[in-house]
Amino acid sequence: NGGRADVQWLMLQPPAPAAAAAVAAPKPQGLLYASSDGQSLQMNVSRYSWQQLAAAKHQHELQPDPEGNVHVNLDVAHMGVGGDDSWSPSVHEKYLVPPGKYHMGLTVKSCVG
């Protein structure tokens, strides 16, 4: 569930079949997400929804989607997580994301090799 910053593109692909089980190598396939305006994105890919993560008190309570679906979260901006020490939770001003209108150009493309 770790987020990634300064992402220009990402490609999601299904897991490759085990070599012994594969009769013929399948053509690569997947989804390509790319910034179409040159702006970096903050992204996260998870087997769990935000609702599942918020409701679970312990990791063993999380169950991946039985159909293998994943949740892709793309953000145009991401605020810093805290201060310099445990007793002052304020975020430095340069890491704040002020309220406002934000724009993100995004291209989503199906890829089959």
The residue-averaged pLDDT of 56-69 equals 88
Mean pLDDT of the chain: 81
Give the residue ranges of DSSP H helices in the chain. Answer: 50-55
Full-model pTM: 0.69
Q: Provide the percentage of residues in the chain whose pLDDT is more than 70.
A: 81
Considering only CA atoms, which of 82, 7, 9, 70 is closest in space to residue 41?
7
Report helix, strand or coil for 69: coil
Read off the pLDDT of residues 20-50 as tens digits, 9 standing for 90 and up: 455 555 566 788 888 888 888 889 999 898 8
Written as six digits, the tokens of 97 are: 């994301």
Positive or negative: CA dihedral 55, 47, 5, 35: negative
Cα within 13 Å of Cα(43), Cβ side: 19
pLDDT of residue 20: 47
